[in-house]
């Protein structure tokens, strides 16, 4: 039977695999309120100022949102230390990644993506018919030398998550500058800083500071983790005006809904909530480091709100046994790290419940 056929390159696209949901575990094991430490969400909930803003905005839900996101972009510019003209708002950082690929890729161009990183870079690139080239990792860190070695005149985009998901590691300023110096100015370098707020590493530099001197740099940001708005989908591209102009021409006209516009602007002004989030995250990381050491488990020191813990042989069984006890973590088999679990930082009681369950299972 004859039927419409999708573009041939879409057949190569793997489905995105999200973390296991609370509802799935509740239904499978009859657990009333499982603890989810799988998706790097903010355990404190959303910013209180964001909630107030949403409540006020609901009466206008029958109206189309501001297509230019003026208020949200102004709040983002103040937060990131740039100009509004250098900010584009999106329906989460995923849409920003999509827009960058659609604007700068054509079929046959190459995209360099680290071997262990956020899988959506690969998906969005393949949607545009690009060829994805995997660069190597060095002890859980992105390998700048290998990226430079694999780059060519075909390279349209280099995607880097800094800090990186799922490893939690961070490239220092010197490595970022060395990468930019070694790549041609025609190659777009996309630095995803979804976890930048959590960095404690002293030599970290936000690439926002590089956009004026490097027209080929675009940064990606989200309010999902640091500001607790994962369910609203609020993301940004911060880049030079030529990049922002290119994305603005192809974005959907009303891509950020009215609640997200108002909540995002309010959350960016909620310094108290952000400070509490960072304190909760850093204390939780230090606690899990100490408990992993007591259990004789290796881990990868993290600059994010999660940590990779090496369980070793039987990791899949440990993952399943934790699920039966109502603790949802993220198995790393899809990344080729069969011995590891990725554990998001929760509230103190949730971190403690994870450690008790892990000790029991081990």
353: burial class by Cβ within 10 Å (0-12, 13-18, 19+)?
A: middle
User: Does residue 17 surpass a pLDDT of 90?
Assistant: no
User: H or E segment at 157?
Assistant: strand 155-161
Domain with CATH 3.40.640.10 in the chain: 48-269
Q: What's the pLDDT score for residue 13?
A: 80
Per-state percent for the chain, helix, strand, coil, to nearest 5: 45, 15, 40
- Of 19-33, 219-233, 320-334, 337-351, the range with the lowest mean pLDDT is 19-33
Token code pair at residue 337: 């790290």
Cα dist from 142 to 151, 159, 162, whole Å: 15, 11, 9
3-state secondary structure of 208: helix
CATH 3.90.1150.10 placement within the chain: 17-45+272-361
pLDDT of 212 strictly over 90: yes
Nearest Cα neighbor of 239 from 267, 265, 210 is 210
pLDDT over 80 at 271, yes or no: yes
Lowest-confidence region among 2-6, 146-150, 263-267: 2-6
Could you give the C-alpha distances from 85 to 112, 238, 240, 244, 265, in angstroms and in order? 28, 9, 8, 8, 16
What are the structure tokens assigned to 188, written together? 């777009």
Closest Cα partner for 158 from 127, 125, 198, 204?
125
Among residues 161, 176, 207, which one has the least CA distance to residue 302? 161
CATH code for the domain defined by 48-269: 3.40.640.10
User: How does residue 87 score in pLDDT terms, banded at 50, 70 and 90?
Assistant: very high
Question: What is the arithmetic mean of pLDDT over 325-347?
Answer: 95
Q: What are the backbone angles phi and psi of residue 251, rounded to the nearest 5°?
A: -70, 150
- pLDDT-derived band at 110, boundaries 50, 70, 90: very high
Is the C-alpha dihedral spanning 204, 209, 215, 220 positive or negative? positive
Percent of the residues in the chain that have a pLDDT greater than 70, as a whole number: 99
Q: Are 187 and 156 in contact (CB under 8 A)?
A: yes
H helices, E strands: number in the chain: 12, 15
Distance CA 140, CA 146 (A): 14
pLDDT of 20 over the 90 cut: no
- Which CATH number describes the domain made up of 17-45+272-361? 3.90.1150.10
pLDDT at 1 over 90: no
For residue 213, pLDDT beyond 90: yes
Question: Residue 101: which residues within 8 A CB-CB, separation 6 or more?
Answer: 111, 124, 125, 127, 128, 130, 157
Whether pTM > 0.85 for this model: the answer is yes
């Amino acid at each position: 039977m004859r039927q419409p056929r999708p573009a041939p390159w879409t057949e190569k696209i793997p489905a995105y695999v999200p973390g296991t949901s609370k509802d799935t575990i509740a239904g499978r094991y009859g657990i009333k309120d499982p603890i989810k430490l799988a998706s790097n969400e903010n355990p404190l909930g959303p910013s209180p100022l964001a909630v107030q803003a949403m409540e006020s905005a609901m009466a206008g839900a029958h109206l189309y949102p501001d297509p230019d996101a003026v208020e949200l972009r102004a709040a983002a510019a103040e937060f990131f230390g740039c100009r509004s003209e250098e900010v584009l708002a999106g329906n989460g950082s995923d849409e920003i990644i999509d827009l960058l690929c659609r604007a700068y890729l054509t079929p046959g161009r190459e995209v360099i993506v680290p071997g262990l990183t956020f899988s959506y870079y690969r998906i969005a690139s393949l949607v545009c018919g690009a060829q994805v080239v995997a660069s190597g990792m060095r002890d859980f860190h992105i390998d700048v030398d290998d990226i430079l070695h694999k780059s060519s005149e075909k390279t349209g985009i280099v995607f880097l998550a800094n800090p990186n998901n799922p490893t939690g590691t961070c490239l220092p300023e010197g490595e970022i500058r060395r990468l930019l110096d070694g790549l041609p100015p025609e190659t777009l370098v996309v630095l995803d800083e979804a976890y930048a707020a959590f960095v404690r590493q002293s030599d970290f530099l936000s690439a926002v500071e590089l956009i004026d001197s490097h027209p080929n740099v675009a940064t990606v940001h989200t309010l999902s983790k640091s500001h607790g708005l994962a369910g609203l989908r609020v993301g940004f591209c911060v880049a030079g005006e030529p990049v922002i102009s290119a994305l603005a021409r192809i974005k959907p006209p009303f891509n950020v809904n009215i609640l997200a516009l108002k909540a995002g602007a309010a959350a960016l002004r909620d310094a108290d909530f952000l400070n509490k989030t960072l304190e909760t995250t850093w204390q939780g990381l230090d606690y899990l480091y100490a408990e992993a050491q007591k259990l004789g488990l290796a881990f990868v020191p993290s600059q994010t709100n999660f940590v990779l813990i090496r369980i070793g042989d039987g990791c899949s069984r440990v993952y399943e046994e934790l699920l039966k006890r109502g603790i949802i973590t993220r198995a790393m088999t899809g990344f080729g790290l069969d011995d590891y679990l990725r554990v998001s930082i929760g509230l103190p009681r949730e971190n403690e419940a994870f450690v008790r369950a892990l000790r029991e299972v081990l």
